[in-house]
Amino acid sequence: MGREDSVSNGLITTATLACVAVLAMASVLLGWQKGRGGGRVQALIYEFQHRCALPLHLLRKISEAMTLEMTAGLTTESGSSMPMLPTFVEKMPTGNEKGVYYAVDLGGTNFRVLRVLLGGREKRVMKQEFEEVAIPHPLMVGTSVELYDFIAKKLTDFVSRESSEFSTHAAAGARELGLTFSFPISQHSINSGLLIMWTKGFKIADGVGQDVVQALQQAMNRQHGPKLRVAALVNDTVGTMAGGRYFDPDVMIGIILGTGTNACYFERADNVHKLQNGKPLPKTGSMVYNMEWGAFWSSHIPTTHVDEQLDAESINPGQQLYEKMIGGMYLGDIVRRMLLKLAREASLFSGEVPQQLMTPFVLGTPEVSKMHADESIDLRVVAKTLAKIGIHRTDLHTRRAVHDVCDIVTLRSARLAAAGITGILRKIGRDGKNGEYTRTVIAMDGGLYEHYAKFRIYIHAALTELLGEEAVKYVVVEIFKDGSGIGATLLAACHSQHG
Ligand code: BGC
């Protein structure tokens, strides 16, 4: 045999081995597929993946739609999927704020009260204390008096425990408070506004249309506690942006990626043409706009049957559709619904349809995040997490399928959020497309971004695709954990009656 022959023989041998390996793998897979409906599982997952896919050209369209919808929402009252709400926040903290201020932060699942001692430019936040409690579910769907009484009681108790370390620095008279209320509100001034609707699982019919500051003030009066005045009513995005700006002057945008999702940014007054409560808004300067981007919609957003079901069975059907594909409140439930479909239509769990999977919200986004992060060969974290919700004895193929579903749902969520962010950057001329690069900081808060590592990786990858390698270097996302609370105290200070 000549040298060539031996080389070609070698190649043949390598190729044959590779073929054998592939055939062996395929037959294992086929065995599983034949016996267990694995082919059907795969087919359904591919279909789901295909329907959720957001290639760059689609992402661009969604991002452009975000910019257009922003402009439309600033032009007419109902011309856009997003309300683009004026916040009456025209100035941001400077660092010179001094004194004792309080905040109440009602957002997703938790409720916080906090107090800070602000020491001015040199000393900044000298001391802070807070308490956090989970909102009991009945309060989320009860009456507004019950909810505001609960808040007022916690707040009054907290204020009455103010130590001398704070009180010696406090101005005489009522303590001032920033109220972070993370729902869509139509504001009339910095410290008044009517609740437009509830989101994130809250549903308190008599609360809609109420002035939230008045409602809280009345509840505080019922407590007969220390005197308190709400100096600023803010959305959590606005609080986070203010908290961020206190530490970094380049903060231009506030974003929450948590239970719910939303964004706010500074808009020049001359770009706003709509009337507010029948009156034109001031035409000078600029104001922070609460976009309520959870309500954003574009026909380019890919939806599936699972999304339609989730929306139809939610307590606010037809509303907050972008939020329902991105927010931490929903990702777990999208995964649950897809697993249920795989169990029913393709026998994912050995032919059984686990009863547990029929319970809405049994699978939370933190569990999805844990399973998604599992890199062990046998996917044991996936197995453990499934076992925790009562699904035992899963084989590797099943776990892999679960892992894939987590990946598809999270990838779509992160890419959608990135398209939204790019839409805002374009609107404020910070997407680098005019050849100018200016450092732009996004003040970010929310557990989804903070705790879900793969979500963060996906969002940054999509931002890089959309903005390009150069421009993305100037877009900095900074996490300001619980920034909305501190931000609310700072905005209370900025709008204090004590001057
Ligand atoms: C609310 C927003 C809020 C966001 C994040 C959404 O459901 O409508 O006002 O900013 O959640 O908490």
Spatial separation of the C-alpha atoms in residues 334 and 407, rounded to whole Å: 12
Pocket lining: 292 vs ligand 1, CB cutoff 6 Å: yes
The answer to whether residues 215 and 152 touch, using CB atoms and an 8 Å cutoff, is: no
Sign (positive/negative) of CA torsion 435, 440, 446, 448?
positive
Spatial separation of the C-alpha atoms in residues 28 and 32, rounded to whole Å: 6
Pocket lining: 446 vs ligand 1, CB cutoff 6 Å: no
Catalytic positions = 112, 182, 236
Choose one of 200, 255, 316, 482 to mutate for the ligand 1 pocket test, by most ligand atoms within 8 angstroms of C-beta: 200
Pocket lining: 105 vs ligand 1, CB cutoff 6 Å: no
pTM, to two decimals: 0.92
Question: Residue 118 is inside which H or E element, if any?
Answer: strand 110-119
How many residues appear in the chain?
499
The answer to whether residues 438 and 79 touch, using CB atoms and an 8 Å cutoff, is: no
The answer to whether residues 311 and 334 touch, using CB atoms and an 8 Å cutoff, is: no
Tens-of-pLDDT digits for all 499 residues of the chain?
A: 333 333 333 333 334 434 433 333 343 344 444 445 679 999 999 999 999 999 999 999 999 999 999 999 999 988 999 999 999 999 999 999 999 999 999 987 789 999 999 999 999 999 999 999 989 999 999 999 999 999 999 999 999 999 999 999 888 888 999 999 999 999 999 999 999 999 999 999 999 999 999 999 999 999 998 999 999 999 999 999 999 999 999 999 999 999 999 999 999 988 998 877 777 777 678 999 999 999 999 999 999 999 999 999 999 999 999 999 999 999 999 999 999 999 999 999 988 899 999 999 999 999 999 999 999 999 999 999 999 999 999 999 999 999 999 999 999 999 999 999 999 999 999 999 988 899 999 999 999 999 999 999 999 999 999 999 999 999 999 999 888 999 999 999 999 987 6
Choose one of 81, 87, 185, 199 to mutate for the ligand 1 pocket test, by most ligand atoms within 8 angstroms of C-beta: 199
The answer to whether residues 311 and 333 touch, using CB atoms and an 8 Å cutoff, is: no
Nearest CA to ligand 1 atom 11: 260
